[in-house]
Amino acid sequence: MSKESFNDYKLSKEIVNALDSLEYRNPTAVQSKVIPLVLEKMDLVVKSQTGSGKTASYGIPICELIDWKENKPQALILTPTRELAVQVKEDFINLGRYKRIKATAVYGKQPFAIQKTELKQKTHVVVGTPGRVLDHIERGTLALDRIHYLVIDEADEMLNMGFIEQVEAIIKEIPRKRVTMLFSATLPEEVKNLSLNYMKTPIDIEIKSTGLTTDKIDHSLFEVAEDDKFSMLKDVTIVENSDSCIIFCRTKDRVDTLCDQLVDLGYSCDQIHGGMIQEDRLDVMNDFRRGEFRYLIATDVAARGIDIDNITHVINYDLPLEKESYVHRTGRTGRAGQKGKAITFVTPFEDRFLSEIEEYIGFEIPKIAAPSKEEVSDKKPAFEAKMNVEPTIKQAKSERLNKQIMKLYFNGGKKKKLRAVDFVGTIAKIDGVSVEDIGIITILDNVSYVEILDDKGPVVLKKMKDTTIKGKQLKVYEAKKK
């Protein structure tokens, strides 16, 4: 029986408060099926498109079940990409904010030593890419003996990227007494084998996809010669006049070239591909999520599980050569109940790849005529007017929650024999402040960080300037924003 409200799950007040702050009102289809089963600690295989709310479907119950007092990781979430790992970590932090859940992301291209230091602290949830997780396991820097919950997210993308053997190696190191959840948009044979070999009579859940139906996404196809693609793209973007659009290309070089061409024409755009450094990729995705620019030129790295609502259009400038990629690309639009358009350019030499995609998705993509000169001319004034308007910056779903939080820096840590309980006990004695107002506490060798929730930060900061902790007077400041 599906639930109408998150209150029906008998969740703790800490989790309910976080859901309210994040403006989560009613469970999505996948959440209503998955949450109660995870709370009952059942193994699951979930076939569901991205954009269905699946991260919260496992994040909410895992946060509910986690024992805050346990210092070692209790949940391990495996993701195919660095971007998704960072995003899932943030989701866990936001969902578990009032329960003080500490989540850490581990992935390649970030210094190992930084992650090693984080993993030495109290950590409830570890989110990571298979290669870096395995690296930490082999070096003994990731404790697995208290892992009770394992999530394999975007399992089909793990397969496409060649990570399945690493995933299996990780699974073999985790205690057998655990709850295992596998999420995938598609279920190839190798992914099914994971459930057969490493899960205990899992429950199969399939959420009927709206991502490939004309109900949510209007699919269309333009036949175009390779040399005419850019001209076609200009006409299509003028006619469609998107608010938020991803344009997919096959290679990094193509992304670089196309982005430069569009910038020269005055388009509000940026780019993302695997050749960029990690910080730049994350910055671009955050800017796109906030609406700082309207057109994102991307390789398939942006199609893998990135959670951005209100993308109105996806344009396949290059047809994907892997049929699964069509599902992941077009699944960027038509999310969270919104309508979207998926437009694909096909050259005369790509019929075989198109046939494979259409057989895979179960319908023929409608071919439509190129926009006429008259139509482009009629639409151009509105397009140019929108190009000259300053973008409307969107508020991230976690922004309201984060605005209420102040992180405090204290110049004392483990070397002064300080523990989390010392900070909690002292701060909770301040008038008007309770234990529920204290968030994540991170204690390093020489410094500590304490999150204060519910806009109580200024009160605590002022009071702690002349209040001792465990008999020690520490310097306290508002921590610098990263």
Q: Are residues 242 and 285 in the same domain?
A: yes
What region, left, alpha or beta, does residue 143 occupy, with left being phi > 0 and alpha being psi -120 to 50 degrees? beta
Q: Where are the beta strands (DSSP E) in 123-266?
A: 125-128, 149-152, 179-184, 203-206, 217-223, 245-248
Q: What is the residue-averaged pLDDT of the chain?
A: 88
Q: Are residues 185 and 38 in the same domain?
A: yes
Number of domains in the chain: 3
User: For position 43, what pLDDT does the model report?
Assistant: 95
Residue type, 11: L
**For the chain, what percent of residues have pLDDT higher than 70?**
92
Whether 395 maps to a domain, the answer reads no
Whether 229 maps to a domain, the answer reads yes
- φ, ψ of residue 13 in degrees (nearest 5): -65, -30
Whether 368 maps to a domain, the answer reads yes
Whether 436 maps to a domain, the answer reads yes
Whether 397 maps to a domain, the answer reads no
Q: Are residues 358 and 455 in the same domain?
A: no
Q: Are residues 31 and 152 in the same domain?
A: yes
Q: Are residues 413 and 376 in the same domain?
A: no
User: For position 304, what pLDDT does the model report?
Assistant: 62
Cα-based distances in Å from 382 to 265, 392, 416 = 16, 17, 64
Distance CA 210, CA 71 (A): 41
Q: Are residues 179 and 45 in the same domain?
A: yes
User: For position 26, what pLDDT does the model report?
Assistant: 84
Cα-based distances in Å from 163 to 81, 158, 295, 365 = 11, 5, 30, 31
Distance CA 142, CA 371 (A): 56
Least confident of 31-45, 131-145, 213-227, 258-272: 213-227
- Residues 279-309: tens digit of each pLDDT: 788 888 888 888 889 999 999 876 565 667 7
Q: Are residues 78 and 142 in the same domain?
A: yes
pLDDT at 264 over 70: yes
Q: Are residues 412 and 296 in the same domain?
A: no
Q: Are residues 356 and 411 in the same domain?
A: no
Closest CA to 309 of 4, 22, 5, 47: 22
Tell me the whole-structure pTM to 2 decimals.
Answer: 0.70
Boundary (domain end) residue, out of 330, 363, 387 = 387
User: For position 346, what pLDDT does the model report?
Assistant: 95
- Structural contact between residues 89 and 105, judged by C-beta atoms closer than 8 angstroms: yes
Boundary (domain end) residue, out of 155, 171, 206 = 206
Whether 290 maps to a domain, the answer reads yes
Q: Are residues 307 and 196 in the same domain?
A: no
Q: Are residues 448 and 412 in the same domain?
A: yes
Boundary (domain end) residue, out of 143, 173, 206 = 206
Q: Are residues 439 and 353 in the same domain?
A: no
Cα-based distances in Å from 142 to 23, 112, 125, 217, 376 = 34, 12, 11, 42, 57
Whether 394 maps to a domain, the answer reads no
User: For position 211, what pLDDT does the model report?
Assistant: 44
pLDDT at 81 over 80: yes
Return the CATH number at 127: 3.40.50.300
User: For position 210, what pLDDT does the model report?
Assistant: 45
Residue 182: which domain range? Answer: 6-206
Return the CATH number at 430: 3.30.70.330
Whether 319 maps to a domain, the answer reads yes
What mean pLDDT do residues 198-220 have?
76
422-448 in b/e form (b: 16+ CB < 10 A) is bbeebbeebeebeebbbbbbbbeeebb
User: For position 77, what pLDDT does the model report?
Assistant: 97
Determine the length of the chain.
482
